[in-house]
Amino acid sequence: MPLDLSWSCESGAQLLRWHITETREDLSQMYNQIWGDAADPNTAETGSVHKLAARNTIGTAFPKHQLIFTEHGKPTLSPNTAHINHSHAGEFALFIHHPSLAVGVDIEQIRPQLARIYPRFCNAKELAALGPDPNLETLLLIWCAKEALYKAIGQKGTDFREHLHLTVWPTDTNIAEGKMEANITLTDFEQACTLQFLRWDGYAVVWVALG
């Protein structure tokens, strides 16, 4: 199933979702058709279902472009007509783009191990606010938020605990969509920012555009 949903975000970003129902062979054929001469044969031959769906989403939204990566691994378009980012998990691939702002997106599924590892990505203030027994749905949103911020920044060495600080997040696990607040405190870049999220069927997606 090609693109099944799209959202126009308050920041001006556009978020697209590809629900992966195709076989790997079908996605590979689509990839060659969508990218044409710009298709990487190695991606078509060995790319995973997730990688192919993500590339197909990008190529569908931006035909006649090439996909290249910075030294930090951040995806960019050539010609550089928009800032982009993508993520995938389970049955879905997500793609976000904005004409002028750096963007990041992350989608994940509920994982029990988050209850064990969250002190590795939450700082002291976040841990205090979460309390001794945080629920998995909240931990998943925080993880996705920090991943989205990291990807929007696009700079290796960004530390989830030291540089990315979540200040507002939903405590009601029944809230399916809304906003979160965070502060970025890198040595050469500081910013307060608003993130948006969606949840459905055990999935969470968080995205951000950095002004």
pLDDT at 73: 86
Taking only the tens place, the pLDDT of each residue in 37-69 is 889 999 999 999 999 999 999 999 999 999 999
Average pLDDT over residues 71-99: 95
pLDDT at 55: 95
pLDDT at 211: 81
Taking only the tens place, the pLDDT of each residue in 124-154 is 999 999 999 999 999 999 999 999 999 999 9
pTM: 0.94
Average pLDDT over residues 71-84: 93
- Domains in the chain and their CATH numbers? 3-100 (3.90.470.20), 108-210 (no CATH)
What pLDDT band is residue 198 in, cutting at 50, 70 and 90?
Answer: very high
Taking only the tens place, the pLDDT of each residue in 98-125 is 999 999 999 999 999 999 999 999 999 9
The dihedral through the CA atoms of 45, 50, 51, 55 has a sign that is positive
Average pLDDT over residues 159-182: 96
Looking at the predicted structure, is the pLDDT value of residue 7 above 80? Answer: yes
pLDDT at 119: 96
What pLDDT band is residue 1 in, cutting at 50, 70 and 90?
Answer: low
pLDDT at 8: 87
Looking at the predicted structure, is the pLDDT value of residue 177 above 70? Answer: yes
Q: What is the mean pLDDT of the chain?
A: 95
